Amino acid sequence: MPPSSRGCAPAAVLELGSGPGWLVQRILESLGPLAHRVRFVESDFTKPDWHAGLPKYHAVVTLQAVHELRHKRHAASFYKAAGSLLLSGGCSSCAITSAARQA
């Protein structure tokens, strides 16, 4: 949601596996003038320390990327690490299909 619509401070959002950028494009469009405040981080989320050094976020989102873990046995530690990046009261979203692509 755009910060102006929320009537509060801008949110820090982490997208995991941005790839070609379907989701990040939507996020940036919603941010409007704040969209320039973007940082790209290269990290391999199949590695145990993929989240090392990252700050905390209001939201952690991912779209069509978790399958890149390649086996469900990696999922629990992945979600635990993603959850550790959330600020208190933050939220996370993981989607394996894209509504934009289905439309």
Ligand X SMILES: C[S@@+](CC[C@H](N)C(=O)[O-])C[C@H]1O[C@@H](n2cnc3c(N)ncnc32)[C@H](O)[C@@H]1O
Site of interaction with ligand X (CB under 6 A): 17-23, 44-46, 63-65, 68
Length of the chain: 103
Least distance between ligand X and beta carbon 79 (Å): 14
Residue 86: closest CA among 37, 6, 13, 10: 13
Please say which residue, 12 or 94, places its beta carbon nearer to ligand X: 94
Q: Cα 22 to the chain's mean position, in Å?
A: 12
Extract the tokens encoding 55: 């700050």
Least distance between ligand X and beta carbon 88 (Å): 26
Least distance between ligand X and beta carbon 55 (Å): 18
